[in-house]
């Protein structure tokens, strides 16, 4: 069986991080609940219970303090699911663009 090819850091850094659109919001992980559920603090000031979808469960590990992109559910606006976890480089790009305020990161560190 052939080995998997590892991605180079230069290939990943050239991609632009996904930006929030209608129905999505940037959030910070406050608490891990278990059973693939998280409590997140969103940019709009709401605490939401979100789930990690099956395609991310064993591939992307979440920790408290991570910045994630959450897709809100139409039928329940205080719930949603994680669409993307931002890396440190992507968070830095979001800060440069002004999409993510620095005050949000400072306020998030108080919860943890």
This model's pTM is above 0.75: yes
pLDDT given for residue 57 in this prediction: 87
Longest dimension (CA), the chain: 49
Does the residue 35 lie in any domain?
A: yes
Residues linked to residue 78 through DSSP beta bridges, in sequence order:
none
Split the chain (112 residues) into runs of 10 and give each run's mean pLDDT.
Answer: 64 74 94 93 93 91 94 93 95 93 89 74
pLDDT score of 35: 87
- Residue 82 CA to residue 85 CA, distance in Å, equals 8
User: What pLDDT score does 7 carry?
Assistant: 62
Q: What is the predicted pLDDT for the residue at 64? A: 93
pLDDT at res. 79 = 95
CATH number of the domain residue 102 falls in = 2.40.50.140
- Whether residue 13 lies inside any domain: the answer is no
What is the tally of structural domains in the chain?
A: 1
Q: Does 6 reside within a domain?
A: no
């Amino acid at each position: 069986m052939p080995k998997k090819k590892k991605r180079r850091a230069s290939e990943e850094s050239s991609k632009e991080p996904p930006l929030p659109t209608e129905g999505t919001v940037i959030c910070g992980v406050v608490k891990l609940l278990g059973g693939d559920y998280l409590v997140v603090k969103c940019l709009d000031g709401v605490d939401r219970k979100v789930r990690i979808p099956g395609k991310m469960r064993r591939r992307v590990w979440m920790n408290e303090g991570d910045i994630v992109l959450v897709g809100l559910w139409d039928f329940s606006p205080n719930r949603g699911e994680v669409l993307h976890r931002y890396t440190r480089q992507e968070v830095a790009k979001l800060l440069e663009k002004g999409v993510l305020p620095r005050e949000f990161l400072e306020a998030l560190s108080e919860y943890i």
